[in-house]
Structure 1
């Protein structure tokens, strides 16, 4: 429960345990592991540059469940050194 109140930036990704669900084991752990969206996340592109420089802005990530919105948001926060707090409107 204490990690909920941790204000430090996210640390380096750790490998999930071998018995973790497949989705957890296959989830991208770096921006380079994300497939697609090269026009935004490719080297030198707009969003990638903003993330790496720590100059993130407000944005809405939209897509169907399981498309990687939360994973992308987590990775953006980690690379930018920002705090990440996952919140799902579906679960509230």
Structure 2
């Protein structure tokens, strides 16, 4: 929970949106790696995500980078869907 300085310098908890907190949890709960790390004869490393996506390294990215990007995209999509209308955004949700 985040806090802010208010009420004569006392730290008072700021409310956290339940919808956004739930969205973050949905992303974590539906996008986790499953199985064992595998290696193809060409040196490609890969894992499966619980959503069915195969995460792998490539010529210019590591497996770790792909896993992190996949999780970040999943979190972004969940948060975007749960964000209140009218909140200022970097990306237009209508796109």
| The two structures share one fold, judged by TM-score above 0.5 | no
Higher helix proportion, which one? Answer: 1
More strand by share: 2
Normalised by the length of structure 1, the TM-score is 0.27
TM-score, structure 2 normalization: 0.27
* Greater relative contact order structure (CA < 8 Å, 6+ sep): 1
Q: Which has the larger radius of gyration?
A: 2
